């Protein structure tokens, strides 16, 4: 469980607040949707989804990510993992819908590539605050049809991913994979629930992790008590019915924080 030393080989600036860090170690057996614990030396260890077998895509939101943004090629950080349960891969010929919001596109991009490689038909709904923050749009376009929504209308439909979903027959898909800000995922959850397709959907949750391996219980979710780090981070829509999704999470002390 000791972290390996990962040297940064390349940094790609996806937007003013999002960067992809490539490193010199490849997690060849990763499941799309799994995460790694990233040790930012002198600051903190935080969970991040893998955007490729050798990259993490990071949004600058706090102390640890701000410190990551100070690093340059040749610098390094520590990595443990990959951990957790990823998205369920489709069978050949299945129809897959991917719903990605903001930096939630990061763990969904390798899933889209794996689904395409497996012979599935892939459609993607990609949302962001504005055109600047649309993540991996060209990468997704190489795999299937992309439906874009932006909050400000700078590209695609003006509105949220749920607005883009209204033009699709979600019941026609065999699998639905969702990742993004929790408010967005909660809206998608309600939309899919109304369409009676929650049994086809999987959602990737983000919670505060301490150990990352299911020992400490800090990331247990109500009402089931399932551990996000070990039993997730990907859960089926049925598992999340009646849960805390979209309502609250917890801070480092375990107190509820309203979402």
- The structural domains of the chain, with segments of one domain joined by +, span 4-83
Q: What is the pLDDT of residue 128?
A: 96
Structure token digits, residue 209: 């992790």
Q: What is the pLDDT of residue 188?
A: 97
Task: Express each pLDDT in 204-213 by its tens digit.
Answer: 999 988 888 8
Residue 53: is its pLDDT beyond 80? yes
Question: Using 50, 70 and 90 to split pLDDT, how confident is the model at 142?
Answer: very high
Q: What is the pLDDT of residue 54?
A: 97
Residue 1: is its pLDDT beyond 80? no
Q: In the predicted model, what is the mean pLDDT of residues 191-204? A: 97
Provide the mean pLDDT of the chain: 95
CA angle, corner 245, sides to 170 and 129, nearest 5?
Answer: 65
CATH second-level architecture of 4-83? Beta Barrel (2.40)
Report field, pTM of the whole predicted structure over 0.85: yes
Cβ proximity of 26 and 44 under 8 Å: no
Question: Using 50, 70 and 90 to split pLDDT, how confident is the model at 147?
Answer: very high
Q: What is the pLDDT of residue 105?
A: 97
């Amino acid at each position: 469980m000791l972290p390996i030393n990962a040297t940064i080989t390349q940094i790609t600036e996806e937007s003013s607040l999002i960067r992809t860090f490539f490193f010199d170690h490849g997690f060849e057996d990763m499941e799309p949707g799994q995460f790694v614990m990233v040790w930012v030396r002198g600051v903190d260890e935080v969970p991040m989804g893998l955007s490729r077998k050798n990259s993490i895509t990071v949004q600058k939101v706090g102390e640890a990510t701000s410190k990551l943004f100070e690093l340059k090629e040749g610098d390094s950080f520590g990595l443990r993992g990959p951990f957790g349960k990823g998205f369920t891969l489709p069978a050949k010929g299945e129809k897959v819908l991917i719903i990605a919001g903001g930096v939630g596109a990061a763990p969904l991009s390798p899933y889209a590539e794996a689904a395409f490689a497996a012979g599935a038909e892939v459609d993607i709904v990609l949302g962001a605050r504005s055109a600047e923050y649309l993540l991996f749009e060209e990468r997704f376009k190489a795999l299937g049809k992309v439906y874009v929504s932006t909050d400000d209308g700078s590209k695609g439909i003006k509105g949220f991913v749920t607005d883009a979903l209204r033009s699709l027959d979600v019941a026609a898909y065999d699998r639905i994979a969702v990742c993004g800000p929790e408010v967005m995922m909660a809206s998608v959850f309600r939309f899919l629930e109304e369409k009676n397709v929650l049994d086809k959907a999987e959602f990737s949750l983000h919670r505060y992790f301490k150990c990352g391996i299911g020992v400490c219980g800090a990331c247990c979710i109500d009402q089931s008590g399932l551990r996000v780090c070990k039993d997730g981070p990907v859960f089926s829509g049925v598992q999340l019915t009646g849960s805390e999704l979209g309502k609250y999470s917890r801070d480092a002390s375990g107190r509820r924080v309203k979402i």
